[in-house]
Amino acid sequence: MRQGLEKKSDIFINDYIEGFPENPIDDFKASFNTTVNYFHYKLVFPNERINFKISGNYVLIVYPYENQEDPVFIQRFTISEETVKI
């Protein structure tokens, strides 16, 4: 089991995600007039490649393009459905 991922759900991926689980980050910009060179990456959910079907706890894992065994970072987040209007 990968570091930082305690338990993976037994639900099939098609039951909770509509689209593709792999989402390349195409929106990025290089730094300009800075003392340290860096890139600013942007990825918004949901998008045309992925949508969430049900509420739950999700994990976003970002890998470098050339090495998908060693994640750059792992971020946990929660999706909740609007069930009651106030």
69 in any annotated domain: yes
Domain-embedded: residue 42: yes
DSSP line for the chain:
--TT-----SS-HHHHEEE-S-----EEEE--S-SS--EEEE--SS-SSEEE-S-EEEEEEE--TT-TTS-SEEEEEEE-------
Provide the domain count of the chain: 1
Q: Let me know if residue 85 belongs to a domain.
A: no
Going by pLDDT thresholds of 50, 70 and 90, the confidence category of residue 5 is: low
Could you tell me the pTM of the whole model?
A: 0.72
**27 is a domain residue:** yes
Ranges 4-13, 30-39, 49-58: which has the least confidence: 4-13
Write out the residue range of the structural domain in which residue 52 sits. 13-79
